[in-house]
Every structure is written in C-alpha cells, then in structure tokens.
Amino acid sequence: MDPPVRRWYHYVPISMTVALMLAPHPSLLHILVRYHLQTRGQPLAFGVHLLATYTLTFMAFSSLIICVSRDPGPVSLQDANTTSPQRGRADEDDTDEIELTESLISVDYNAPGRWCNKCWSPKPERTHHCSECNRCVLKMDHHCPWLASRCVGHRTYPAFVHFLISVTILATYIAVICVNALLFAFRNPYSVDDITPIHEISLAFYGIVITIVIGSFLCYHLYLISTNQTTIENLSPFLLLRHLPVLPSHAGDRLSNPPVEAELSYSQRNLVRDAHNVIRLYDVGWRKNWAQVFGWKGRFGWTKRLLCGGVTTGSGKYFPRNPKADDMLARLAEELVKAEKDR
C-alpha cells in the first residue's frame, strides 16, 4: 500500500513545536547577559547556564529529528524502502539483530491479530495498523501529529522519550534560572532595569507551563516503560481478548473463539477492564522492561542513548511474555464463560 501524501498542513504542528522550543532563547540570552554579566558580574555562572541550556536544546532537537526522519518500525522490507530509503549501516546493525530464539519461533498467522486485512500481510506481535499512515507499524505506540503526522513505534520510541525528557529538563532549568533572577529583582529593585523583570516573569511562567504539560506526559510514558506497555495497549483493554485461550464448546453461541468486544455483556466488559489493570502481558520486571527500550551494547553504547535516545534493540517482532500472564488469561476466560452462563 502506498503511503499517504503529506500536505503542507501536516508540517504546521511540528513547525509550532520548533517555534515553541526556540521562542524562549532571545529572552533567556537577555536575562543571562543583564543579570549574570552586567548586574551580578558572574561570567562563570553565565557560561555554565549558557552551556547547559544549549546542550539540552541540542539533545531535544537531535531526538526530534530522529523521530521525524527515522522509520518507526517497518514490518516488511518494502515498507522500509518506501519510507526510509537511506537507512544507515549502523542503524541496520542495531535494529535487524534477531536472536536465535526469535528465529526459531513459529507464528500462526491465522490467529486473531496476526494478519492485517488492510495491508494484506502478516502482522507481528504488538504491531498495529495506522489508518493515518496507511501501514502497519512494529510495536506502535501512537500516531503523533506534532511529529509531522508520523507514528511513534519500535524504532523511534526511545528518541521520543528522550525528547520528552530533554524538553522537560530544559523547561525546568529555564524556569529555575528566571525565578532566581526574579527574586533578586524583587529584593534589589534599584539594581536592575525595568525591562529585564518582564522577561523573567514571562519566561518563568513559560517554563513552568511547559514543565507541567510535557512533564505529565513524560511521567505517563515512564510508567508505560516500567510496565512494558504501549499507549495503545494501555488504553485498549479489549486487546486482551485476542490472547485468551480457547474457550470450551459449552460457552454458548454468543461468544466467538476468542470473543470480540461487541459480543460481551456489561458484566463481561467489566471483567475485562478489571483484568486489564492486573494483567501485563509483556511485563518481565522493570529492569528488563527498561533494557528492552534503552538497552545498549558495548562499553560506550550509553553515549548514543544520552545524546539522542538511540534505537530499541531487537527485531521488534517478538517479545518475551510475562510468565504469569497465561494463568491470569486462563482465569479471565473462565470468568467470562461463567458470566456467559449467568447471562
């Protein structure tokens, strides 16, 4: 399937993102020069703040560029060539490594969710079809219009989280600088000019708002990483149904095997929602969960993760399962069957 043609209006949100990232810098430079150099006479503090803010800005832009330019997760070689024709050799080495255990796994593509009827191709585990991009994406997290109408998936999720971290730290750092300078202006009103406090108030408010908004989004994704979930999996409890074991034949004529959401009664829906809060299909412990997203190889592999977030290791087609998940899914199936009898 051909990818959708991106019009000019698809790039308006990312232009706004870039503008919001660059907007504070003129006022910040004014504050640093007038407060630290001219008023306080602190060239060392001026240099440290300047280095820190522009290092964080560089880190944010590097991960943003990766999110926009890198393919989020090609299911087939055709998808990779269509959306990312210039894939680097080093990038391929990171993403195309398939462990021996993965290569030996046999996949039943007749199982629910294993075949995409829109792309007419196999759909690996945790893969979802994006209607906006008109394609399947490996371990799709969500479709983001702020990233030039692109998806966040297996190969771009670390960079996306890195972007959130960089922006949050940058906004917090700028807010702290401006609040400290503003407090000095209140205590020493005759030592500062009339314009600098206006920059300090505006920029402090700007930094606090960005910290609250982006920081809240960041905390949510840190929770998702710790529990090994994607946004789609966290917000779609009925995805559990496709992982249920085979129901007994006496379950009734109303339920398919596995059941679908439209067939469930109100009580059965509540059972699935309650189970969704407990069952974490891919949760293998927070350490291993984080290693799946930000794991690196080599002595200095962490430097790439620090600068731009890197790329998730593995093929993105197979993931280790929670060893307790099968038993919990079996209990959920029994409860659904019992609720069906009482229906």
Residue 137, number of CB atoms within 10 A of its CB:
28
Q: Which two tokens stand for residue 75?
A: 């299911």
pTM of the full structure? 0.86
The residue behind tokens 């559990």 is 240
d(CA 217, CA 211): 10
The angle at the Cα of 95, spanning 92 to 96, to the nearest 5 degrees, equals 75
Q: How far is CA 60 from CA 51, 121, 308, in A?
A: 14, 36, 8
d(CA 192, CA 196): 7
Give pLDDT, residue 103.
Answer: 44
d(CA 47, CA 32): 9
Give pLDDT, residue 4.
Answer: 67
Confidence of residue 3 (pLDDT cuts 50, 70, 90): low
Lowest mean pLDDT among 102-106, 218-222, 249-253: 102-106
* Residue 248 DSSP class: P
Give pLDDT, residue 83.
Answer: 43
Lowest mean pLDDT among 72-81, 164-173, 261-270, 290-299: 72-81
What residues act catalytically?
144
pLDDT > 80? residue 254: no
Q: pLDDT tens across 294-312, in order?
A: 887 767 777 778 878 877 8
In angstroms, the first-to-last Cα distance of the chain is 43
How many residues are recorded in the chain? Answer: 343
Give pLDDT, residue 255.
Answer: 79
Q: pLDDT tens across 102-112, in order?
A: 444 445 555 65
Q: pLDDT tens across 50-80, in order?
A: 999 999 999 999 999 999 999 999 887 555 4
pLDDT > 70? residue 186: yes
Longest dimension (CA), the chain: 85
Give pLDDT, residue 105.
Answer: 46
